[in-house]
Amino acid sequence: MHKINLRKNRIWRIWKSGRKGARKPFALLPGIMILCLMIPVMFSGEVTAASGYEDVASGSDVASTQQVGKYGMTPLTAEYVREESYDISVDSSSKFFRIKEAKLLVKDGKMKAVIMIDSTSYKFIYMGSAEDAAKAPEKKYIKAEVKNGMSYFTVPVSALDEPLNCASFSSNTRKWYGRQILFDATTLPSGALTITLPDYNKIQAAVNAYDNGDRKESTGSDLTRTGDIQPSEPLYTSLGNGKYSIEVSMTGGSGRASISSPAYLYVRKHRFYSKITWSSSHYDYMIVGGKKYLNESRKGENSTFTIPVTAIDEPMIVKADTTALGDPVEIEYHLTFYEKSIGSVDQIPQIAAKKVLTIALVLIIAGGILNYFVKSRKRQ
């Protein structure tokens, strides 16, 4: 009780002193002015750029660059790489920024790498654009650790098989240079990945051959049979018009995307069509036999397309355009529809689920009605 009274007295004295100060309105003015000056500093969201590192190379200062990665590559995050330390090759967009060696470390769902450059020309690197590096504080820079004439940098790796912006600061010119680097997942040892990657070299060779006007087989693989020279007309069938289900498998791409199986199979005028539903919402169109088919789903839903089935029991080559990588990229896939699996539309998971819910609802209603009559009889 004594402690409570002491607290009350202390609060009373503070309140009285505040009232006395209120009688002198100008007494608090200096403190208010200082507080007003401090608030912008305390709550400012601006980041002060590092002094002496504001220049960005441009024009003739920048050497020609080259594209990193191969056609069809899809970013692989840490969840697709087993935890371990690996040697990995790194592509660079600049011949003046060659990464001689790299060690990738995967741990706790994150990746980082120690990269080695056979030069001491670069004082810092920054994971981002050169323009952003020039505006960033020095604590955001990754400083070189120099050993035996080699520069080592420890950098975060957000994904493999994806071009990453990486700016380097030249000690000689005192300027930032924009680069792109790519950690090549195909150079990891066997078993490092939880998925199987396609042969990007063959895909790239096929694309190059096609771009050069050579549409014949040039790699010993039928990957050169691109989607726009495939048959475009759906196969004829003796089945009656209606809805069916069919098992379908898919290969190609990075192995991350998938399609629902069984899929809808439509027979229209004795011709096969199928509704394909992807595991992603990032596909905006498909190409079959040179014809484009647009996404039918609403925004945010998994991409869905109704396409002609031009082959049964053998791979049907299609292209699908994905925006998951940022810029749209057409990726080639092989779909195989299995004729022996054609069955009732009830085998489609969505249809089966609806039927189960309908049956459950009927049982609940019937049970409620039965319960009502049982209770009514008991009252009588």
Residue 53: per-residue pLDDT:
84
- Helix/strand/coil (H/E/C) assignment for every residue in the chain: CHHHHHHHHHHHHHHHHHHHHHCCCCCCHHHHHHHHHHHHHHHCCCCCCCCCCCCECCHHHCCCCCCCCCCCCCCECHHHECCEEEECCEEECCCCCCEEEEEEEEECCEEEEEEEECCCCEEEEECCCHHHHHHCCHHHCEECEEECCEEEEEEECCCECCCEEEEEEECCCCCEEEEEEEECHHHCCCCCECCCCCCHHHHHHHHHHHHCCCCCCCCCCHHHCCHHHCCCCCCECCCCCEEEEECEEEEECCCCCCECCCEEEEEECCEEEEEEEECCCCEEEEEECCEEEECCCCCCCCCEEEEECCCCCCCEEEEEEECCCCCCEEEEEEEEECHHHCECHHHCHHHHHHHHHHHHHHHHHHHHHHHHHHHHHHHC
Per residue in 363-375, pLDDT (tens digit) is 677 666 766 666 6
| pTM (two decimals) | 0.49
Per residue in 95-107, pLDDT (tens digit) is 889 999 999 999 9
Query: Which stretches in the chain have pLDDT values below 70?
Result: 1-47, 59-64, 206-230, 254, 325-326, 347-363, 366-368, 370-380
Give the chain's domains with CATH numbers: 59-197 (2.60.40.1850), 242-350 (2.60.40.1850)
